[in-house]
Amino acid sequence: MAHRTAPPGGHAHAAAPDAESDPAAPPASPVVRVLLLGLGWVCVGLGAVGAFLPVLPTTPFLLVAAWAFARSSRRLRAWLYGHPRFGTALRAWHEHGAIPRRAKVLSLVGMSLSFAWVLLQAEKAWLPVVVGLTLLAVAAFVLTRPEPPRTAANPAE
């Protein structure tokens, strides 16, 4: 998902711009644009709540919001990527497929707490097994993502 750059003295060979690579690509219709804007704002709201509740993820909601805004509003997409609280994680994912260490730790803590709750509350024996295997797969994915490169502006990440 990283941006393509042209080699020195050459041109990058990329496919024609589409909605994924061209944030300016318009939605199919005005109704779709309104639905995408609504989805984006709902996800921003859920992501904001997730910033304060460890059991609710932040970044996945913000990624969906960025996707929706990229197809409905260049201005809102730019606002989200430039946001002082949320923009860093979005840019790290978009540019490097990276997840900051703090986000990894918080996601693992949240998954562990969620699994403990399911384990205590489940009436069916198979439910903790299914939830546990799903969370294990998600944890493996999160842990195998690289961390963002350290920068002078963000030495802690």
Q: Where are the domains of the chain?
A: 30-144
**pLDDT tens by residue, the chain, 157 residues:** 444 343 333 333 333 333 444 555 666 688 999 999 999 999 999 988 988 876 677 878 898 999 999 999 989 999 999 999 888 888 888 889 888 888 888 888 888 988 999 999 999 999 999 999 999 999 999 999 999 887 644 554 4
Distance of CA 155 to the CA centre of its chain: 21
Other beta carbons within 10 angstroms of residue 74's beta carbon come to 15
Q: Which of 5, 128, 155, 111 is nearest to 147 (CA)?
A: 155
Question: Per-residue DSSP letters for 89-157?
Answer: HHHHHHHH----HHHHHHHHHHHHHHHHHHHHH-SSTHHHHHHHHHHHHHHHHHHHSPPPPP-SS-TT-
**pTM of this structure:** 0.64
